[in-house]
A and B are shown apart, each in its own frame.
Chain A
Amino acid sequence: MSSNTNAAANIKAEKNLRKRAGLTDTNLLLIITIAVFVAMYALAVFLLGGGFTKPQTFFNILNENASLIVLSCGMSLVMITGGIDISVGQVTALVCMACAVYLDRDVLHPEEYAGNPGNVVTALLIALGIGLAFGLVQGFIVAYLNIQPFIVTLAGLFFAKGMTTIINATQFNVANEQFLKLKEKRITVPGMGANNKLGVYVPAYVEIGVIVAVAIVIILFILLRWTKLGRNFYAVGGNNQSANMLGINVRRTKFMAHLLCGLLAGIGGFVYFMHAGSGSPSHAGGAEMNAIASSIIGGTMLTGGVGNIAGTFFGVLSLSTIKNIVASLGLDEAWWTNITVALMLCIFLLLQSVILSRKHKAKK
C-alpha cells in the first residue's frame, strides 16, 4: 500500500471515528428528557391553554414539587452508583412529624414547655440530623457490609414508618408562629406574572422550598460533572470492579452516595414540611416511587453509571405536568392520575430500552 492511500485511509478512518463517537448515553437520555418536557408543556399550552399560559401555573408545579425534586436528586445519586434508596419517602414523613412535634411542643406538652415553642433553626437541624443518621447507617451497611441496598433501605423505610407513628400517630397542623412566617414567605419572580380575573396584575411567586431545591440541583449538577467524587459515582455505577482496579475507593464512594441521599432526604423532608405545615404518618406516601420514576424519566438508569441531575429536574417537572394535564382534563379521580403516571413511566422505559439497544446494536 502506498503512503498516499494510507494517509487517505487514515483521514477516512478519523472521520468515521468522529461520527461514531457521538453522544454518551447520559447526554442522549438527557436530551430526550428535556425535549419531551418541552413538547409536553407546549402541548398543554396549545390544547388546554388557559391556566398553562400563566407563569404561576408553572411556578406552582415547582412549589408543589420542591421536596420531590430534592428527594429525586438524592435518588439519582444513589441510582448512578448502581444502588437504590427506597426509604426517602418515609424519612420525609418522619422528618415532618419530628419537626412538627418539636415546634409545637408548647401545645403538645404544656406542662413542660408552656410558652416555650421550638425554634425553626433547631427544627432544621433535627431534619438534617435524621436524614444524615439514615444515610450514615444505611450507607455503612450497604457499602461496608456489602448487603443489597434494596433490602437495607427497605428496612430503613419500615423503621422510619414505625418511628413516625411512635412519635405521633395522627396528623396535626403546626401552630408555631415563627415557622408559619417562614412557611408563608413568598418570593416574587421578577418580570413574571399575569393579570387575574379582575384585571389586576399579580406577580408570580415561588416558595422558599423552590429556592432550596434549585440550589441543590445546581450544586449537585456541579458535583456530578466536575468533582472527583461525582465522577467516581459514575465509575462505580459503570462497573464497580473496574472502578476498584482504577484506584477508586468503591466502598467509600457508595457510602458517600447513600450518605448524601440520606442528607437530601432530610432536606427534602424539611422542604415538604415547609410546604405542608403539618406532621402526618401519611405524608409523602409513595414519594420514593415518585422519586424513582422521576429519575428514570430524567434518564437515570437503575443499572447505574448513566444519569444526570438536570435530567432528574426535568423528570420531576414532566411527571407533575402530566398530572396537571390529567387534572385539567376533568379526570380528577385519583386513579386516572396514577394510571397516566404509570403509562408515562412505561413509555419512557420502553423508549430508553429501545434507544439504548439500537445504539448498542449499531456499535457492533
Chain B
Amino acid sequence: MSTSQKDLKLKKRSFSAFLGNMVRQQLFIPVAALLILVLFNLIMDPSFFKIELGHNSAGDPVLSGYLITIIDYASELAILAIGMTLVTSASGGQDISVGAAMAIAGSVVLRVLCGNNPRPEHMQTSIIVAFLIAVLVSMCFGAFNGMLVAFFKIQPMVATLILYTAGRSIAAWINKNKLPVISDPSFGYFGNSIPGIPLPTPIFIAVICMIIIAVVLKFTNLRLYSQSVGINSSSSRLNGINPQMVKFLTFVILGVCVAVAGFIKVSRLSTINYSVIAKDIEMDAILAVALGGNSLGGGKFNMKASIIGAYVIQFLTTTLTKFKVNSTAIPAYKAVVVIILVVLSAPIVREKMGTLRKKLARSKGNVGKEVA
C-alpha cells in the first residue's frame, strides 16, 4: 500500500470517528434536522432562499424572503424555548400554560395602553411602561405556577393546567371581553419593523434575549443550580441549594419570557384575539426543548440546542406553508416529522442502529477480503 493510500485510509478513519462523535453530540439532532430541511428546500425550489430588498407600503426598505419570515416568526418560540428549557431542567416538567399566559400578557399591554377606551386615538402611557407592567403581571403568574410546583410539590404539567384552563378567560376579563385596537403605528414597530431598518424587530428582540440568557448562564450559577435540582433535589438541598427557590425562580424567568413573547405577538397585530393568540404555542415550545435533545425529565440541558430546535420548528412550518399545505393540516405533517426525529434520537434505536452499522461494516470488510 502506498503512503498516499495509507493517508487516505487514515483520513477516512478519523473522518468516521469524527462522524460518530458528532452523532453522539446533543446538538446533532436539531442541526441535522435543520440541514435536512435546508437540503429539501434547495432541491425542491432554490428560490426558497432568495432574499430581496423591497419597499413596504410606507416606502421604507424591508428585506423579504422565506428565510426572513422563518427567523422573524420563530422569535417568540425561541424566547419561550429559553424559559421552557430552564423550567424543564429544574422541575422535570413542562409549563403548558405559556400560550394562555401570553394572551394575558398581551391583554395587559393593550389594557394599559388603551385605558378604558378600546379604540384610543393616542396611547394612554408610553409603550415601555405597558411592557414593564406586562412583565410584572407575567412574573406574578409565573410565580403562581412556580409556587404550586415548588412549594406544593404538584407536577408542573398539572399545576400549569390550571392557568392553561383559565388563562384565556382571564385575558378576556382584563379587557372586559372587548377587542382593543391601537392605531398608533409606533406600537407596531416591535412586531413588524422600525422604519429604516430592513429586518423585522422581533429578530433583534430574540437576539437580545439570547444574549441576556447567555450572560446570565455565564455569570451566575443558574445552570449548575437548576441542573442539580433537576437531577437530585435532595442532595442539592444538603449542599446548601434551596431547590424550591430554584424551581420557583425558573418559573418566574419563564414568566418574563412569556411577557416578551406576548408583547411581540400583540405588537404584530396591534390587537388581540383571546382564543386564537399564541394558540398551541406551548406545544411548539415543549417540542423545541425536546428537539434540542434535552430530557423532558429534567436535569442536564443545552440551551443552544433548544433555541435551534425552535427555529427548526418554524422552518418546518414555513416550508409546509410554502408547499401549499393547508394551514390547519400542518399539525399532521409536523407530527410525522416529530415522531421520526424523536424515534431516531431514542437511545434504544441509536444503539440498535449502531450495532447494525458495525455488522454491515464487518460484512463489507469480509467481502473486500474475499475479493482480494
Contact = CB atoms under 8 A, between A and B. Distances in A.
So, do A and B actually touch in the complex, CB under 8 Å? yes
Interface of A: 84, 141, 144-148, 150-152, 154-159, 161-163, 165-166, 169, 281, 289, 292-293, 296, 302-303, 333-339, 341-343, 345-346, 349-350, 352-354, 357
B154 A353 contact: yes
B108 interface: no
Nearest to A345: B162
Contacts of B334: 155, 158, 162
B170 interface: yes
B153 A353 contact: yes
Which 9 residue pairs of A and B lie closest in terms of their CB atoms, listed nearest first?
A162-B332, A335-B169, A342-B166, A159-B335, A158-B335, A158-B331, A165-B328, A338-B169, A162-B331
Nearest to A161: B331
Is chain B's interface secondary structure helix, strand, loop, or mixed overall?
A: helix
Interface string B344-364: 001111000000000000000
Nearest to B326: A165
A59 to B, nearest CB: 26
B94 A150 contact: yes
Nearest to B333: A162
B125 interface: no
B169 A162 contact: no
B165 A335 contact: no
A359 B79 CA distance: 41
A289 B165 contact: yes
Given A151-B290, A154-B283, A349-B152, A163 B169 contact: no
Contacts of B170: 335, 339
Contacts of A333: 177
Interface string B143-163: 000001000111101110111
Given A293-B165, A342-B166, A345-B161, A165 B338 contact: no
Contact of A151 (B152, B155, B338, B349): B338
Nearest to A302: B155
A354 B154 CA distance: 10
Contacts of A165: 326, 328-329
A332 to B, nearest CB: 13
A339 B169 contact: yes
5 contacts: A147-B343, A152-B339, A166-B332, A345-B162, A349-B159
Nearest to B163: A342
B168 A342 contact: no
Contacts of B94: 150
A336 B169 contact: yes
B296 interface: yes
Contacts of A293: 161, 165
A343 B166 contact: yes
Nearest to A145: B346
Contacts of B283: 154, 157-158
Chain B: number of interface residues, binned into ranges: 35 or more
A349 B154 contact: yes
A147 B342 contact: yes
A341 B332 contact: no
Point out which of A154, A159, A353 has the most chain B C-beta atoms below 10 A from its C-beta: A154
B343 A303 contact: no
Contacts of B343: 141, 145, 147
DSSP majority for the A interface? Answer: helix
A169 B296 contact: no
A166 B154 contact: no
Nearest to A292: B161
Interface of B: 94, 148, 152-155, 157-159, 161-166, 168-170, 172-173, 177, 283, 286-287, 290, 296-297, 326, 328-336, 338-339, 342-343, 346-349
User: In the complex, which of the residues A145, A147, A281, A353 has the most CB atoms of chain B within 10 Å of its own CB atom?
Assistant: A147
Given A292-B161, A339-B170, A357 B342 contact: no
Contacts of A342: 162-163, 165-166
Contact of B148 (A152, A338, A349): A349
Nearest to A166: B329
A338 B166 contact: yes
Nearest to A137: B339
Contact of B153 (A84, A169, A357): A357
A133 to B, nearest CB: 14
Given A335-B172, A349-B158, A159 B166 contact: no
A289 B173 CA distance: 21
B282 to A, nearest CB: 10
Contacts of B158: 292, 296, 302, 349
B172 A84 contact: no
Central interface residue in B161, B165, B287, B331, by most chain A CB within 10 Å: B165
A147 B346 contact: yes
| Residue of B332, B333, B347 ringed by the most chain A CB atoms within 10 A | B332
Most A-side CB within 10 Å, residue of B153, B331, B333, B334 = B331
Contacts of B168: 335, 338
B329 to A, nearest CB: 5
Contacts of B154: 349-350, 352-353
B150 to A, nearest CB: 11
Contacts of A354: 152
B165 A84 contact: no
Contact of B162 (A147, A152, A281, A349): A349
A148 B332 contact: no
The residue among A155, A350, A357 with the most chain B CB atoms within 10 A of its own CB is A155
A145 B349 contact: yes
Contacts of A151: 286-287, 290, 296, 338, 342
Find the residue from A162, A163, A293 having the highest chain B CB count within 10 A: A162
Given A146-B347, A159-B335, A335-B173, A289 B152 contact: no
B172 A302 contact: no
Contact of A159 (B172, B297, B336): B336
A247 to B, nearest CB: 22
Contacts of A157: 283, 331, 335
B328 to A, nearest CB: 4
Contacts of A161: 328, 331-332
